């Protein structure tokens, strides 16, 4: 009878340890899914974007976690390396937008490109608050006019764009043309 009780206690302890370990792994996985990649953090901070609440006093912007995912990765400049677009909020007036970091530029210390968040961008205005979904789309899916619009030497690989959407409404495609980001009404 004593052995059975010890065995039950050991089994319960093993299960508890496994659950605790699984919970910790899940928490780390969840946490890392909200945080931008390490390579991007320095450039975000240099751009006046608070990555974690309270980590950069006086920052004009903070990373917004109002949509999931709060950042996406894609090769926006066609150099074969992942870039990121991350949702931000301007603290002064609560206007939403995004910061885009091209990985090649981040290494050289170039600041993020801010779209929206108080700065007008295309017909999207200066506040992307109405956006409730976004995703990365490959160049193969771009309309021909956008696919062929590139300033300067052709990119090494196919590039990606960002589809911004208000469900049930017109979408926009945000692409990099080799010099700047461009807003194009898209879908519908």
Q: Is residue 170 scored above 80 in pLDDT?
A: no
Q: What is the pLDDT of residue 9?
A: 56
Contact 101, 109 (CB under 8 A): no
- Tens digits of residue pLDDT in 44-71: 888 899 988 777 678 999 999 988 899 9
pTM (2 decimals)?
Answer: 0.77
Look at residues 1, 77, 73, 91 and name the one whose alpha carbon lies nearest to residue 37.
73
Burial 127-157 (b: 16+ CB within 10 A, else e): bbeebeebeebebeebeeebeeebeeeebee
Provide the pLDDT confidence category of residue 7 given band limits of 50, 70 and 90: low
Q: Provide the 8-state DSSP code for 112.
A: P
Q: Provide the 8-state DSSP code for 122.
A: G
Q: Is residue 26 scored above 50 in pLDDT?
A: no
């Amino acid at each position: 009878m004593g052995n059975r009780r010890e065995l039950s206690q050991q089994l319960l302890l093993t299960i508890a340890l496994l659950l605790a370990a699984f919970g910790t792994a899940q928490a780390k996985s969840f946490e890392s899914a909200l945080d931008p990649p390490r390579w991007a953090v320095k450039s975000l901070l240099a751009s006046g974007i608070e990555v974690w609440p309270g980590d950069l006093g006086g920052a004009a912007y903070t990373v917004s976690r109002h949509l999931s995912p709060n950042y996406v990765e894609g090769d926006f400049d066609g150099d074969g390396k992942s870039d990121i677009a991350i949702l931000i909020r301007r603290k002064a007036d609560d206007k939403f937008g995004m910061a885009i970091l091209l990985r090649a530029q981040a290494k050289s210390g170039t600041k993020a490109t801010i779209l929206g968040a108080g700065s007008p961008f295309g017909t999207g205005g200066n506040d992307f608050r109405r956006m409730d979904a976004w995703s990365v789309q490959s160049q193969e899916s771009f309309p021909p006019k956008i696919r062929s619009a590139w300033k300067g030497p052709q990119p090494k690989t196919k590039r990606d764009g960002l589809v911004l959407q208000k469900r049930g409404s017109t979408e926009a495609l945000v692409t990099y043309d080799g010099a700047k980001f461009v807003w194009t009404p898209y879908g519908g």
